[in-house]
Amino acid sequence: MAIDVSNTPDMYKITASGSFTFNTSCRVRNTPNMSDSGVATYTSGMTVSYDSKLKNGNHLWLSYIATSGTRRYIPYANTDTGVYFGTDTNSVNPIKAATSGSGSTGTGTTTGALGSLTGQTGANVADQTPDGTILAMSGSFTFSEAARGRDKTSMTTANKVDSFAIGETVYYNAKVKADGHYWFRYIHTSGATYYVPYATIAPFRYYGTDSKPGDPVYSQSSTTGGNTGDSSTSRTQGGQDTGVPNFQSNGSASFSIDNDTMLVNGFATLTDNGAWTRNTPLMSAANITHYAKGSKVKYVKKIHADSRIWVVLSNGQYLPIGKLSTPISETQKYQDSSIPSYHSKFSYTIDSNVHQPWASIWPYTANDTNNDDRNNSLLYENPKQELIPTTTEQNELSLVKNQVDAISTSDAVTIGFMTDTHFSSFKTPSTARTLRQMKTMSYYAKNYGLDLMIHGGDLNDGAEEKKYELDDVKRAMDALKLGHRPLLVAQGNHDDNSGFARDFDGYYPRNIITNSEAYPYRFGNFANLLDTKGNTANQATYGKYKIPNSKINVILLDGFDQSDNYSSPITARRDFRHGWTHFSQTQQNWLRSTLNTIPNDELVLVVTHIMLHGVNFHTPNTFAEAKLSGSYAPGVVESGNIRQILVDYNNRTNNLVAVLGGHTHVDDYSSDYGINWIVSTCAVSDRGDGQGSRPIGSVNEQAWDTFVIDPSTRKLHRVRYGWHNNSYFSSSYSF
């Protein structure tokens, strides 16, 4: 059946991002014309990521920027025949409705609700729904004929990995239209995601009985998706499925690092008595060199052995500096006028570093712990495997979904927001379990739908050597990618691991994760969604994302926008991200310019890890108010500039929905300057205002939000999964 483009002019273009997997060969061209000979070919099974779509001639086209920087075009559907050349993660099409109104409908015909049709009625119009369309819903299906589970939605190319006999039941979390069939998506007992067909579309027949009837096809009654040009027309709910994630981690960290040799620099001063070096870290080994009481010894490594911590000298000899206990016993910032204030007392030594490495390695961890941490072991969660909810988790997920449904309107936008996970595979049971929290939000996004997922920063804890932190960044990002939705991740002060360099490694920068080092694993995974495309000063994480088919613009700010050119060692504490805020002049100029270009009928939501200078909260934000020599630090002044740009914008337009942040580990709120400044508590359960009230495994262990923006009523609704602070938490805000 032809795609109706009778009201769509040639070269009609829409902004729409996604990925498209081809089931046939298609030529890449320099222009959107079939007469163009082309420059390359995408063959069956290959995938292209695009940033826009257009209609020209008798084809619909994808458009993207090639690695060379040149814009390319590739056809993805023939409008005369109605044939699509593969599977699209974003079903919106560059088509104007053939009915009243103006703008793109987002589909080849006028379409209505997804999942509202069943049986032959749905099958009659199924060809107007693109393959790969997902209907997120949970239910059960009992088979009246045998069926085979597969590893993808294909009757011919998929591997057969499961089977269902007559009378057996599958418990599914979504329905999919693909390859002439309707499919259930379900989690196998192994934890893998599989698919089983439950109906043939032509000739139509079901293979059993569904507890929740409704097939993954659109009805053909009203316009949906795209920029319709008609404010009374509803938008497609649930967001765009971004397709199979590109995982980058090596899975769970099912190992311990407590026996590693720690590459850290510093000085140990023997205060209580002297000590002998040895050629091996054993007290029974022969004595070599004696250091008397008061000696200050430079070390280049640390290791624990024989129930003690040893420093390794540049000559390779080992010097014991004290016994290692569980938890470790150290006095931080030990006061002694002869030594800088930031150091520690450990056993019979004063250490120039604030912490011993084992202060952040379980089971020695002493700080940032709950009592129930001691009753639990580290959880090695697989970041690439979809969550299998516990009963507690499923009940809370369903409660959140029901609340969101109750307050959502036809033009509502839903955003998942989580911040300050401080994920560490090694520090505490709570820091390890935040990976599961990220997987829980991802499960909600994938199975119930979100327009956007946001992590507010401090993704990782920044408390181990760089190689381990980078691995944890990959794990955390993989867990968030399970959501199959557009994803933004702010930069926090912990994310670059500068706290480890400062407090564990003698101010040497070698363990700092620079922005260029982090880019492939964090910012690079979503830079293409932003207007900046990652081309920012200092490779800082900022940009604007326009939520498709809506009037909502999301502004992501980087409150730690500074150069990674460090001296070695670093000479001043204020040179670390972990301790000082910065918004470069380039970012300030970008923000002002970007806000000036947003149409007056559109809205803005701002996300920043750290709130801004001059905004009063119940819990002080010391980073944003820090002083040097009696005056506000340069970065604080920069923060104030950002605040003023936002205030000026809102005074001019009244279109600033809210500013979302984290960092202080509390639920907090301010209405200064007539703006909603909303702070969410930390996701990690052993810190913040919920510490001690969020037992592991309970519903209160987790804490993350689903924000629902209702442009028509100018309301921002907030639905919390898990714990919240009753004092300063609100479920609704006006803007």
pLDDT digits (tens, 9 = 90+) for 630-647: 999 999 999 999 999 999
Contact 572, 546 (CB under 8 A): no
Helix (H, G, I), strand (E, B) or coil at 317: coil
Compute and round to an integer the Cα radius of gyration of the chain: 28
| Residues 335-369 as b or e (16 or more Cβ within 10 Å = b) | eeeeeeeebbbbbbbbbbbbbbbbbbbbbbbbbbb
pLDDT band, residue 339 (cuts 50/70/90): very low
Q: What is the DSSP code string of 400-419?
A: HHHHHHHH--TT-EEEEEE-
For 629, other C-beta atoms within 10 Å of its C-beta total 5
Residues of the chain with CATH 3.60.21.10: 391-734
pLDDT of residue 500: 96
- Alpha-carbon span 495 to 487, nearest angstrom: 17
Q: What topology is assigned to 119-210 in CATH? A: SH3 type barrels. (2.30.30)
**Which residues, at least 6 apart from 582, have a Cβ–Cβ distance to it below 8 Å?**
559, 560, 561, 562, 634, 635, 638
Q: Residue 650: pLDDT above 50?
A: yes
Expressed in angstroms, the distance from the first to the final Cα of the chain is: 46
**Which residues, at least 6 apart from 74, have a Cβ–Cβ distance to it below 8 Å?**
26, 27, 28, 29, 42, 48, 61, 62, 64
Phi and psi torsions of 400, nearest 5°:
-60, -45
pLDDT of residue 688: 96
Counted residue by residue, the chain has a size of 735
* Segments in 582-727 forming alpha helices (H): 585-597, 634-653
pLDDT of residue 678: 99
Q: Retrieve residue 371's tokens.
A: 């009592």
- Alpha-carbon span 550 to 83, nearest angstrom: 28
- Alpha-carbon span 111 to 26, nearest angstrom: 27
pLDDT of residue 333: 65
pLDDT of residue 108: 36
Half-sphere exposure at residue 541, Cβ-oriented, CA atoms within 13 angstroms? 33
pLDDT of residue 125: 82
- Cα–Cα separations (whole angstroms), residue 314 to 8, 265, 266, 267, 298: 74, 10, 11, 12, 8
Q: Residue 533: pLDDT above 90?
A: yes
Q: What is the pTM of this model?
A: 0.71
Q: Which of 553, 422, 554, 436 is nearest to 495 (CA)?
A: 422
For 419, other C-beta atoms within 10 Å of its C-beta total 29
pLDDT band, residue 243 (cuts 50/70/90): confident
Q: What topology is assigned to 391-734 in CATH? A: Purple Acid Phosphatase; chain A, domain 2 (3.60.21)
Q: Retrieve residue 384's tokens.
A: 């690439």
- Alpha-carbon span 40 to 27, nearest angstrom: 6
Q: Which of 205, 340, 335, 187 is nearest to 267 (CA)?
A: 340
According to DSSP, residue 155 is labeled: S
- Alpha-carbon span 183 to 150, nearest angstrom: 10
pLDDT band, residue 10 (cuts 50/70/90): confident
Strands 83-84 and 160-164: unpaired
CATH 1.10.10.60 at 12-88, yes or no = no
- Alpha-carbon span 13 to 7, nearest angstrom: 13
Please provide the CATH number assigned to the domain covering 266-360.
2.30.30
Residues of the chain with CATH 2.30.30.40: 12-88, 119-210
